Amino acid sequence: MTALVRRFGIGAAGIASYRLIARAATPLVLRHIDGRRRRGKEHATRWRERLGWPGAARPAGRLVWLHGASVGEALSALPLVERLQSAGLRVLITTGTVTSASILSERLPPGVLHQFIPVDLPGPVERFLDHWRPDLVLWLESELWPTMLTGLQRRRVPAALINGRLSPASFRAWSWAPWAVRSLLGGFALLLAQSRGDAERFTRLGLGGVRYIGNLKFAGAPLGCDPAALAALEAALGTRPRWLAASTHDGEEAAAAAVHDKLSARHPGLVTLIVPRHPERGPAILQALAAAGHAASLRSAGAAPPPTGGIHVADTLGELGLWFRAADLVFVGKSLAASGPNAGGHNPLEPARLGAALLFGPGMDSFADIAADLLAIGAARSVAGADDLALSVDALLGDAARRGEMGERARRYAEGGQKVAEEVMVALAPLLQRFSPADSALAQES
Q: Is 73 a catalytic residue?
A: yes
Distance of CA 89 to the CA centre of its chain: 24
E strand residue ranges, 208-327: 210-212, 242-248, 271-276, 296-298, 310-313
- Residue 242: phi and psi, rounded to 5, are -155, 155
Q: How far apart are CA 208 and CA 369, in angstroms?
A: 23
Catalytic residue among 73, 141, 253, 350: 73
Q: DSSP state, 361? A: -
273 has which bridge partners? 244, 312
Cross-strand bridge partners of residue 115: 94
Three-class SS of residue 284? helix
Residue type (1 letter), 32: H
- R_g (Cα) of the chain, nearest Å: 23
Q: Which residues contact 31 (CB under 8 A, 6 or more apart)?
A: none
Strand 90-95 to 210-212 pairing: unpaired
* Torsional sign, CA 37, 42, 46, 52: negative
**What residues are labeled active site?**
73
